[in-house]
């Protein structure tokens, strides 16, 4: 890609040969694209070139993000099971009132669309425990990794490793461990316990959904908190040491207050991710047993795409609701981030 | 200055790892190493267990409690029997121990034969026999799916999606970043805001209408449906633009003096200089695409166009799950990520800590 100065032509090294071969496709591509762009520049003038450079990216944004965002509303106010908007009759807010039709909002059983409300309550339970414990363990791990320990790079990498794994792989790794004849049950029976059918029991299924998603994601948040801890000026600790301050007091008075902005960012980021939980749990439990681990995104997916009757309107209405929740969380995130940058 | 720096880190580390009375350990030191040891086991253990299990035969996988290493029962050829017979260690009634091959099992009685004396069959209760096993790696878990299932197709699809999508992403994102970083033009701030705004729109909230768009474009059940919608990543534009802003402007002015076209400035000057940022985006893009799940699940409904992730999900969702194949395929799916991790872990971990993106 870079323009290589001609090296010793008679006797090129292996690296130079490789570069020469590898740069050929780039040069051909450059040649192919240069002519039209040069023509465009002559035609439009240099002042309009930034628009040309922006065009492809903005076109993709527009077609696959902005247009869908707008027609999402159109879907949510039309009925029927046709996909194309022209074939869908306008029904106003009927989808929304259908979703909201409940005898008692605290009891999903009393709602007309009980799967939606179960999804909401499951998501709330999941988000509460997942975010709380993930932030707690990320914080403990970051504090420990911030100490002067041998092989810190290795340990940091070890905790980060699962972040790179795909959700399907994560789910299958744990499913294999948690099966009826899996290694965890083997361990339990060997120390005298009964086997547990983890995926038949609603509470255990929720526990493992939370556990596995913490396992898969905490490395990412640990890294952010670790970066925050390392940004705390060492003089503060020195001063505390000179005063003979106790460790506990140092933690509550120096570490935690200075880390707090980062901690807030981590909490909000984790919230935004947790509300959208789908992949790992869908593969791990399939939403079961029954609807015990079915979350709001899975409700949208099954309603829109995997039911016998694909109810696009209802799915769109539910995603508008989810969108509003995420929008609010994002505003909170922006406020929190701004405060971190200012302060 | 540098001395002051080292002195302060030393005293910091001294304070954090100080042990009371010199030799005795503070409880936090013990806790630290216990926590780290436990953490490493918890993070790597499940993956290792998956890898070890993937080399077991179907019979080996059914064993409960499971064995740590892949073991297979030894089988011997016995005269007068077409198939090789499984070998057992049998404790006879008189207390002697013999190695016998099993012909068949009827209820709780097994009909055995001594390989050295194939004429006489011996009947023993099954409780008195133990299978003789040896270390055996079931490579067929890996080779069979290649021939029997669409596994190669899935692998192929995943590679195509990852490579093509990453190339498109790098090209259009770097073009947009170039436009936003190098030029002063009307509406630049608006475009920047727009880019940051789209950062906040996850695919989960536009599933239905995005599916409509893809259907209108006739792309359902083609790989383009997976490649194109995610190509214009706002994160990528943002990351590359921030990097390009740091490049010296004199270079660009000098090139313009030399009558270089804007495209040449982009391709020959800015792009090569932005390679570090482009490398970061490339790694992220590969990770996103290789691991992508929900969107491909929606738009790919035919087995020929499945990616690895969707194929794996379909396999594990079957009524009679063939775990020996599922485990092996999971390992294959995991390998590229493990390699990326092994070579680039320092780079990725510091990169994420500084950019805060995943």
DSSP A25-84: HHHHHHHHHHHHHHHHHHHH-GGGHHHHHHHHHHHHHIIIIIHHHHHHHHHHTB-SS-SS
Q: Where are the domains of chain A?
A: 114-342
The C-alpha angle with vertex A97 and arms to A95 and A99, in degrees rounded to 5, equals 70
Number of separate domains in chain B: 3
Per-residue burial over B165-189, b = 16 or more CB atoms within 10 Å of its CB, e = otherwise: bbebbbbbbbbbbbbbbbbeeeeee
What distance in Å separates residue B357's CA from the closest CA in chain A? 9
Region A123-145: mean pLDDT is 93
More confident residue, B11 or B24: B24
Interface test with A, best of B207, B284, B293 (most A CBs within 10 A): B207
ipTM for the whole complex: 0.82
What distance in Å separates residue B82's CA from the closest CA in chain A? 33
Q: Which residue has the tokens 């197709």?
A: B153
Least confident window among A29-33, A154-158, B59-63: B59-63
Indicate the average pLDDT of chain A. Answer: 84
- Verify that B171 and B277 share a domain, yes or no: yes
- Verify that B351 and B323 share a domain, yes or no: yes
- Verify that B80 and B66 share a domain, yes or no: no
- Asked if A71 has any chain B CB less than 8 Å from its own CB, the reply is yes
Q: What is the pTM of this model?
A: 0.81
- Verify that B65 and B83 share a domain, yes or no: no
Write down the pLDDT at residue B352.
Answer: 60
Q: Would residue B62 count as lying in a domain?
A: yes
Which of helix, strand or coil describes residue B18?
A: coil
Given the candidates 1.10.3720.10, 3.40.50.720, 1.10.1200.10, 2.30.30.100, the CATH classification of the domain at A114-342 is 1.10.3720.10
Write down the pLDDT at residue B178.
Answer: 93
What pLDDT digit, counting tens, does each position of A81-112 carry?
A: 777 877 787 887 778 887 777 777 777 777 77
Q: Are B354 and A227 in contact (CB under 8 A)?
A: yes
A113 Cβ contact list (under 8 Å, min separation 6)? A98, A99, A101, A314
Q: Are B296 and B308 in contact (CB under 8 A)?
A: no
Write down the pLDDT at residue A123.
Answer: 92
More confident residue, B77 or A189: A189
Minimal-distance CA residue of chain B relative to A3? B268
- Verify that B286 and B207 share a domain, yes or no: yes
- Asked if A289 has any chain B CB less than 8 Å from its own CB, the reply is no
Q: What is the C-alpha R_g of chain A?
A: 27
Of the candidates B13, B33, B327, the beta carbon closest to that of A176 is on B327
Q: Are B226 and B300 in contact (CB under 8 A)?
A: yes
Q: Determine, for residues A57 and B327 on separate chains, whether the beta-carbon distance falls below 8 Å.
A: no
Write down the pLDDT at residue B15.
Answer: 47
Region A48-73: mean pLDDT is 88
Q: Which residue has the tokens 């605290």?
A: A106
Per-residue burial over B248-284, b = 16 or more CB atoms within 10 Å of its CB, e = otherwise: eeeebeebeeeebbbbbbbbbbbbebbeebbebbbbb
- Verify that B64 and B87 share a domain, yes or no: no
Residue B46's nearest CA partner among A165, A48, A254 is A165
Residues 301 through 320 of chain A touching chain B, CB cutoff 8 Å: 301, 304-305, 312, 315-316, 319-320
Q: Tally Cβ neighbours within 10 Å of residue B195.
A: 24
Write down the pLDDT at residue A328.
Answer: 87
- Verify that B120 and B99 share a domain, yes or no: yes
- Verify that B103 and B195 share a domain, yes or no: no
Q: Would residue B14 count as lying in a domain?
A: no
Residue B324 has pLDDT above 90, yes or no: no
Write down the pLDDT at residue B348.
Answer: 63
What pLDDT digit, counting tens, does each position of A220-231 carry?
A: 899 889 888 888
Q: Which residue has the tokens 């807010």?
A: A93
Write down the pLDDT at residue B24.
Answer: 57
- Name the residue range of residue B105's domain: 75-131
Q: Would residue B20 count as lying in a domain?
A: no
- Verify that B153 and B277 share a domain, yes or no: yes
Write down the pLDDT at residue A65.
Answer: 87
| Exposed / middle / buried, residue B226 (Cβ in 10 Å: 0-12, 13-18, 19+) | buried
């Amino acid at each position: 890609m870079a323009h290589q100065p001609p090296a010793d032509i008679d006797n090129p090294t292996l690296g130079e040969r490789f570069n020469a071969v590898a740069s050929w496709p780039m040069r051909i591509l450059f040649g192919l694209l240069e002519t039209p762009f040069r023509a465009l520049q002559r035609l439009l003038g240099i002042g309009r070139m930034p628009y040309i450079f922006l065009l492809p990216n903005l076109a993709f944004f527009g077609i696959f993000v902005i247009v869908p965002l707008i027609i999402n509303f159109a879907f949510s106010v039309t009925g029927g099971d046709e996909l194309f908007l022209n074939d869908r009759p306008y029904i106003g807010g009927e989808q929304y009132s259908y979703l909201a039709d409940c005898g008692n909002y605290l009891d999903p059983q009393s709602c007309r669309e009980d799967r939606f409300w179960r999804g909401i309550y499951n998501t709330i339970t999941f988000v509460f425990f997942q975010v709380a414990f993930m932030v707690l363990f990320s914080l403990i791990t970051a504090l420990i990794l911030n100490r002067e320990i041998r092989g810190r790079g290795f340990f940091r990498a070890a905790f980060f490793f699962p972040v790179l794994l795909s959700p399907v792989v994560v789910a299958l790794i744990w499913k294999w461990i948690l099966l009826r004849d899996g290694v965890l049950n083997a361990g339990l029976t060997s120390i005298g316990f009964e086997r547990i059918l983890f995926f038949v029991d609603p509470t255990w299924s929720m526990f493992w959904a939370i556990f596995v998603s913490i396992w898969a994601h905490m490395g990412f948040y640990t890294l952010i908190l670790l970066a925050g801890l390392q940004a705390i000026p060492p003089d503060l600790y020195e001063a505390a040491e000179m005063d003979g301050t106790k460790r506990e007091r140092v933690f509550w008075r120096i570490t935690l207050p200075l880390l707090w902005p980062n901690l807030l960012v981590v909490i909000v980021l984790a919230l935004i991710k947790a509300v959208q939980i789908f992949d790992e749990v869908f593969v791990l439990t399939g939403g079961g047993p029954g609807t015990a681990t079915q979350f709001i995104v899975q409700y949208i997916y099954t309603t829109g795409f995997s039911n016998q009757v694909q109810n696009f309107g209802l799915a769109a209405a539910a995603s508008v609701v989810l969108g509003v929740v995420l929008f609010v969380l994002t505003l909170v995130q922006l406020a929190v981030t701004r405060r971190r940058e200012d302060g | 200055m540098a001395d002051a720096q080292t002195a302060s880190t030393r005293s910091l580390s001294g304070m954090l790892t100080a042990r009371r009375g010199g030799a005795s350990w503070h409880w936090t030191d013990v806790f630290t190493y216990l926590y780290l040891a436990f953490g490493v086991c918890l993070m790597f253990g499940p993956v290792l267990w998956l890898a070890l299990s993937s080399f077991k035969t179907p019979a080996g996988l059914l064993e409960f409690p499971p064995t740590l290493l892949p073991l297979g029962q030894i089988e011997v050829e016995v005269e007068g029997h077409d198939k090789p017979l499984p070998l057992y260690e049998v404790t006879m009634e008189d207390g002697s121990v013999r190695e016998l091959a099993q012909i068949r099992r009827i209820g709780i009685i097994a009909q055995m034969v001594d390989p050295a004396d194939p004429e006489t069959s011996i009947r023993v209760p099954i409780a008195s026999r133990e299978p003789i096993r040896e270390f055996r790696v079931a490579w067929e878990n890996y080779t069979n799916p290649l021939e029997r299932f669409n596994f190669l197709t899935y692998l192929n699809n995943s590679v195509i999606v990852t490579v093509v999508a990453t190339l498109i992403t790098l090209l259009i994102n770097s073009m947009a970043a170039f436009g936003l970083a190098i030029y002063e033009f009307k509406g630049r701030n608006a475009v920047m805001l727009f880019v940051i705004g789209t950062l906040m729109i996850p695919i989960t909230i536009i599933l239905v209408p995005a599916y409509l768009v893809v259907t209108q474009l006739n792309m359902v059940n083609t790989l383009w449906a997976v490649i194109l919608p995610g190509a214009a990543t706002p994160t990528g534009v943002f990351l590359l633009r921030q990097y390009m802003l740091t490049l010296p402007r004199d270079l660009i002015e000098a090139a313009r003096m030399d009558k270089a076209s804007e495209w040449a400035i982009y391709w020959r000057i800015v792009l090569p200089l932005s390679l570090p940022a482009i490398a970061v985006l490339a790694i992220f893009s590969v990770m996103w695409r290789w691991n992508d799940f929900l969107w491909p699940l929606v738009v790919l409904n035919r087995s020929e166009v499945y990616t690895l992730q969707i194929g794996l999900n379909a396999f594990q969702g079957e009524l009679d799950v063939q775990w020996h194949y599922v485990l092996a395929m999971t390992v294959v799916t995991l390998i590229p990520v493990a390699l990326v991790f092994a070579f680039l872990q320092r780079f990725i971990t510091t990169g994420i800590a500084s950019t805060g993106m995943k």
